[in-house]
Amino acid sequence: MKAFIKIFRFFPPETAHHLALLSLKILNKVGILKLFFPDNKDFDNPKEYFNLKFRNTLGVAAGLDKNGDYVDELESLGFGFVELGTVTPKPQEGNQKPRVFRYLNQQAVVNRLGFNNKGVNYLVSKIKNKKYDAVIGVNIGANKESTNDQRIEDYVFCFEKVYKYCDYVTVNISSPNTPKLRKLHNPDELEKIFKRINEIKSTNKTEIPVFLKISPDEDEETIFKIVNIYKTLKINGLIVTNTSIDKDILEGCSHEGGISGKPLFKKSTQFLKRIHEFDKDIFLVGVGGVFTKEDYENKIRLGASLVQIYTGFIFEGPAIVKKILSR
């Protein structure tokens, strides 16, 4: 597997991403994947939250599998949960290429993908008859051309489409690559989104948990306004955090977009710690810069109940699951 990872680095980052996932799919189909990762049941450390049974507390962050094409393969690696998306109502190409950039020495990635995905109907077709052990979440967003209240309708549309076929839903207002999306951190705008989602939940008598993924670049005043209305809006958990546009965390950064990977760890973890200290009852999912068992345990120690990885998986490959979860 390490040899494959080295080979993939000769390709442009976005091409390498698709080749890596396609390789996992091929290995899975011919039955070889289990030879590489035969003992993933050893990672089981069950936890129950929101009446969902997580086989362990390490998951895949949104962005790795945007369209639900690789759930079997990711689940086979031993993850406790997989978050798909971000998905939007209509398919969209995303921003102009190149739009993903590696910083190998700092183990970081800068992306300005812009919610490229095949649309919510495609994703639903992939997960409609899911038979996975892992908990499946879907991360929902707004189309780029949508503005003002149409963005609210985009979240509502996606939620109505996916909630019957997944275990939890994440409202993503924090991508830096869709213009003005982060303005939805405004409590008034959040109230519009969650009022509509909560009406759908009530009408359909579903208790599916809904999380909110937040930005690490908002000021503390904004974040604590969200924390203060957390229970009122019936948000079930916060995912802390998305990527950052703060170039100060990545030395020599020469590209626009969201920074992920090791340079994000400190900033995202400080946010997690501050929110947990402010209100220990808030359910938190820690994400951002997790590469090692120590990183993972730090997120848990500072308030996260669950932890997600993305860029760490890109750099380390599937072996990172064993590296983090082995006892």
Pairing of strands 135-140, 108-111: unpaired
- Tell me: pLDDT of 101 over 60: yes
Return d(Cα 138, Cα 167) in angstroms, integer.
Answer: 8
Average pLDDT, the chain: 93
Catalytic residue numbers, as ranges: 175
Please give the pLDDT value at position 5: 63
- Please name which of 200, 216, 217 lies closest in space to residue 157, comparing C-alpha atoms: 200
Instruction: Specify the number of domains making up the chain.
Output: 1
Residue 109's pLDDT band (cuts 50, 70, 90):
very high
Residue numbers of the domain that contains 277 = 2-325
**3-class SS at 109?**
strand
Please give the pLDDT value at position 44: 81
Name the residue type at position 145. E
Burial of 187 (0-12, 13-18, 19+ CB in 10 A): middle
CA distances from 269 to 115, 119, 219, 290, 302 (A): 24, 32, 15, 10, 8
The 10 Å Cβ neighbour count of residue 130 is 15
pLDDT in tens, 195-218: 999 999 999 999 999 999 999 999
Kindly state the average pLDDT of the residues 138-142: 98
- Tell me: pLDDT of 7 over 90: no
For residue 48, give the CATH number of its domain: 3.20.20.70
- Tell me: pLDDT of 1 over 60: no
- Tell me: pLDDT of 6 over 70: no
